[in-house]
Structure 1
Amino acid sequence: MSTPRFLTLPPGVSRTNIETPRGSFAALEALPGSGVPERPPALLVPGLTGSKEDFLAVLQTLAASGRRVVSIDMRGQYESIGPDDPAAYTRAALGEDITSLLEALGPDPAHLVAHSFGGLVCREAVLAGAVRPASFTLMSSGPAAVTGPTADRAKALRDAIPELGMETIWQVALEPDYTGQGLEAEIIAFIKARTLGNSETGLICMANEILTAPDRVDELAKHCAGTNLRVLVLYGEDDDAWLPAAQAAMAERLNASKVVIPGAAHSPAWEAPETTAAALRTFWHEAEQNSR
């Protein structure tokens, strides 16, 4: 679960905006204690109904290794403004945003970490080949469209928004559910702000994108082999979006490193932050050593 935006951020973490030719993106930025990054930066991309705050529990730890670490709201998510044009929310269009963000974090190539639907988006950016990241981590993401209960929820969201609107969906379905889970009032307040801050057009279109994404794993494997781009597949042992077995098979097809996070489900950066951050730091260091 994410942390309310109005709580005090950890030392070294601040709210900012990343300016690109494709627009401004709301972000959380973490810097090392010295304030001077000595290692390549990292860009963290959230999933469909997520936001930059989903990475808050790992930002400080990741930055402590001497790098600038940035998590963002994608176009139309929470505090990043998005248009009402459905074409702005395809995987390819969102991937172009990621390319622009990677360029903005330069001149050094940035490590790219993509959670859930963000993995499908960032895969488009990597395959486009305009920018080569320092490494690519697929966190709790899968080879193609979601299936099962996750797909059912995405379909329900996509189909309900045009008829009811997010304000009504929040009041009728989401708020009672979160309240029933016993969440603190400030957590619910944050989730409400994030939920209603999303572009409804964006939610509809991105939900459709996660339901229709093709399997491009073989293309990605070929691209990464040709560019020597190292890939990590990281997921919780109890992931309930893409099955762990499907993610393990994807890692094998990609000839990628694989880390399974004990005690985590679909959000390891929040559910097991120290273990997740340690895995990312180790992988990033190996990728940097390999590139020399």
Structure 2
Amino acid sequence: MPAGISTKGTALLLPGFTGSKEDFNPLHQALTARGYHTVAVDGRGQYESDGPETDEYAYAQDELARDVLAQAAALDTPVHLVGHSLGGQIARAAVLQDHAPFRSLTLMASGPAQISVSQQQRVKLLQDALAVMTMAEVWEAIQAMEPPEEAEAGDLDEGLADSEDLRRRWLGNKPAQLLATGRQLCVEPDRVAELATVPIPFHVLSGSRDDTWPVTLLDDMALRLRARRTVIQGAEHSPNTDRPQETAQAFADFWDRN
């Protein structure tokens, strides 16, 4: 934390499917200015966090949730937990295992249950490709399938970055992690009622458009959780990269009250 800025709290930020800690880079400076120490992490088997190449059991949701609890313990202070997309469902699982380390939970573009049918189809295409192609070959296939205006944005969850950086981050993912977590996204049950019993504040944040979970579904989830609800206008599935200043402000405004 820079000199002259007092620390209000610490936040732990979890990326989404095919994402990485770098997805939160656009937020750190603004959140630091608001007095928050932010720690973004790669999940097990994501980019620079190691994991087994082929053992999908190592990426079971409960295992990944225990990693989050270990990360929170290492920070040695109660943390505001943020999960983007898949990261939100892993964050939810961690809170349901043990809510004591957490001051609040923010679910960013992360819905109550499985992803939309169209996104399930994309995950199935990825799984089929991983069965017969290398990670580098899959990357090239993804780029060939993307419309030109979307090619720089990468895949399901990655935000704006240059193509070579996105490729490097993609190649760091373990195939078993992508297979296991992709399957989780397609079969995740609705655990909102269970989460609503946990005595911490909730925040549901999304863009004004999202084809992974419809915005109306996120509205309903927020009501069921009695959560603060923020819609970032002009943003889609990655408000953190689509509208970083507005997203950082919404995070900090929520944390200031909790």
| TM-score with structure 1 setting the length | 0.81
Q: Gaps spanning 5+ residues in structure 1: where?
A: 1-31, 288-292
Say which of 222, 244, 251 aligns to 1:280. Answer: 251
Local SS of the residue matching 1:95? helix
Matched, 1:216 2:191: yes
Say which of 61, 71, 78 aligns to 1:91. Answer: 61
Say which of 75, 81, 97 aligns to 1:112. Answer: 81
Matched, 1:144 2:119: no
AA partner of residue 187 (structure 1): D
Q: Which residue is 1:248 aligned to?
A: 219
Q: Shift of the alpha carbon at 1:155?
A: 1.4
| Alpha-carbon distance between aligned partners in 1 of 2:207 and 2:79, rounded to the nearest angstrom | 24
AA partner of residue 45 (structure 2): G
| Alpha-carbon distance between aligned partners in 2 of 1:100 and 1:40, rounded to the nearest angstrom | 18
AA partner of residue 199 (structure 1): K
| Alpha-carbon distance between aligned partners in 2 of 1:37 and 1:165, rounded to the nearest angstrom | 47
Alignment of 1:1-292 (within 5 A): 32-34=1-3, 38-84=7-53, 85-106=55-76, 108-129=77-98, 131-171=100-140, 173-177=141-145, 180-181=148-149, 183=152, 187-223=162-198, 227=199, 229-287=200-258
Task: Sort the Cα spacing of 1:124 and 1:179 in 2 relative to 1 into closer, same or farther, 3 A.
Answer: same
Between the two proteins, the alignment pairs up a number of residues equal to 249
| Alpha-carbon distance between aligned partners in 2 of 1:58 and 1:38, rounded to the nearest angstrom | 16
Task: Sort the Cα spacing of 1:138 and 1:130 in 2 relative to 1 into closer, same or farther, 3 A.
Answer: closer
Q: Deviations over 1:18-67 (max 9, x none)?
A: xxxxxxxxxxxxxx322875222101100011111111111111111222
Runs of 4 or more consecutive aligned structure 1 residues displaced over 4 Å after TM superposition: none
| Alpha-carbon distance between aligned partners in 1 of 2:101 and 2:225, rounded to the nearest angstrom | 17
Q: Gaps spanning 5+ residues in structure 2: where?
A: 154-160
Q: Shift of the alpha carbon at 1:194?
A: 1.0
Local SS of the residue matching 1:41? strand
Q: Which residue is 2:156 aligned to?
A: none
Q: Shift of the alpha carbon at 1:176?
A: 2.7
Say whether the 8 Å CA contact 1:143–1:215 is kept in structure 2. yes
Q: Deviations over 1:207-246 (max 9, x none)?
A: 11111111100000012xxx2x000000000111100000
| TM-score with structure 2 setting the length | 0.92
Instruction: Give the stretch that moved more between structures: 130-139 or 269-278.
Output: 130-139
| Alpha-carbon distance between aligned partners in 2 of 1:126 and 1:221, rounded to the nearest angstrom | 11
RMSD: 1.7
Q: Deviations over 1:170-203 (max 9, x none)?
A: 22x123346833649x711011111111001111
AA partner of residue 258 (structure 1): R
| Alpha-carbon distance between aligned partners in 2 of 1:55 and 1:206, rounded to the nearest angstrom | 20
User: Whose relative contact order is higher, 1 or 2, with alpha carbons under 8 Å and at least 6 apart?
Assistant: 2
